[in-house]
Homo-oligomer: A and B are copies of this chain.
């Protein structure tokens, strides 16, 4: 067996099932090794940003890493923007990046570059293989690193001679890391804060946004009067009817500040201290009150759910049946198509157990608000602010959960970044309905303009935020990649198209023309 074959067998033994790829000559032995390893499915994407975004979606829904198989530095470069988002989502991903064989590196051929340096800003773990015999164990080390709580991007650079050179199967037991336990002291400190009579905000994140964590936090809140919040953009949270409702912190810092004012105590569980998304002239980036006691109950690498459950126990709240969100859907809307009416339609029709990939930016807020009482579903956010995540993320989520309906709420600006993901959806016949909110502009930038003090922006400035010359025809773009598509110009047609898409399997795209 060669290095590539031993690597793929070891990864499959460790539970890896999926590899998103756009390979080249330096990766052919790795591709051929996938041929020998039926436990890992190879999924082709026509641009590497789709690979990394899909691996992120898969990781968010399964808690396990998919691999990406990338073609040298340029392949990694193309994957990097969505790796940045995955890093912020704390998603486990294993990047396998092919490189020139070691003896050829000294020649500095055209495709050569410093891949390891390139990988560092988006990876928590980077190694280069020097020997085919070490490749299987380095593959397992990459997987273990990726799964180190809370999850991270691990990148292994594989020179082609390490893939084709002789190796032998990985022989050790494969032990996967688990989240670290929280100390009793941290729970005790939280307890003291909750009992001292001061108003407390409990900000939860990571896996604590799934049902057990949500319920533990809700129990604590009911017993103590604390308020539970989440960050603005979390990787994945469970919500909808039957689950405790948690409010997100607002995006703009002055609004987040307002929401947090009056809370001299903040307890963090599974998330970092909240901060502004952007900095502005003459405005603080701090969103916590000036005098605020911040207690880290559970760091992101720790088991926040267990910590919340321990805290609930210690406070005598374990048996409380927390209040949950009742079923509450908007009526089917009608009239002109707006972000309000499209959002109401999505919320009115969202099926039980749906997955929502949300990169709708300024257009998505209403769908989010209105769906609070929709049947239980998962909501996945743009975690790192790098647009072009939504459609690939939906692609990976659909591969992770083939029995669930995926809805992608996507702004037109971001959709253009990684539209190639639609092709993979068609090829893999994935059950994804993509709603393109077509407002023909980078609306968020126009909003930021006035906030930055540009009250009368000029022609050049506005032109850099304008997508209307020429118009993008999303129906043609989707059909050009084999995805059935239609345009909604009013709410009635949007409702009809969205309902129909949810009823027919396979990918669909709706251009919601605002």
Contact = CB atoms under 8 A, between A and B. Distances in A.
Q: Which of A78, A115, A117, A281 gathers the greatest number of chain B CB atoms within 10 Å?
A: A78
B121 A279 contact: no
A480 B476 contact: yes
Nearest to A471: B482
A367 interface: no
- Report copies per complex: 2
Contacts of A117: 117, 120-121
Nearest to A163: B281
Given A469-B427, A477-B481, A479-B476, A113 B100 contact: no
A100 B164 CA distance: 44
Contacts of A160: 278-279
Interface string A398-438: 00000000000000010011011001001100000000000
Nearest to A469: B427
A278 to B, nearest CB: 5
Contact of A480 (B25, B100, B420, B477): B477
A346 interface: no
Interface stretch (A320-328, A371-379, A444-452): A444-452
A111 B277 contact: yes
A370 to B, nearest CB: 25
B122 A113 contact: yes
Given A121-B114, A448-B28, A470-B427, A279 B103 contact: yes
A444 B81 CA distance: 27
Contacts of A388: 47, 78
A333 to B, nearest CB: 28
Interface string A72-87: 0110011011001001
Contacts of A310: none
Contacts of A104: 275-276, 278-279, 285
Given A121-B118, A482-B470, A24 B445 contact: yes
B78 A46 contact: no
A195 interface: no
A496 B448 CA distance: 49
A236 to B, nearest CB: 15
A28 B465 CA distance: 10
A292 interface: no
Nearest to A275: B107
A470 B481 contact: yes
Contacts of A161: 279, 281
Nearest to A2: B281
A28 B74 contact: no
Contact of A74 (B34, B281, B385): B385
7 contacts: A26-B278, A77-B386, A87-B113, A88-B110, A107-B276, A416-B423, A419-B419
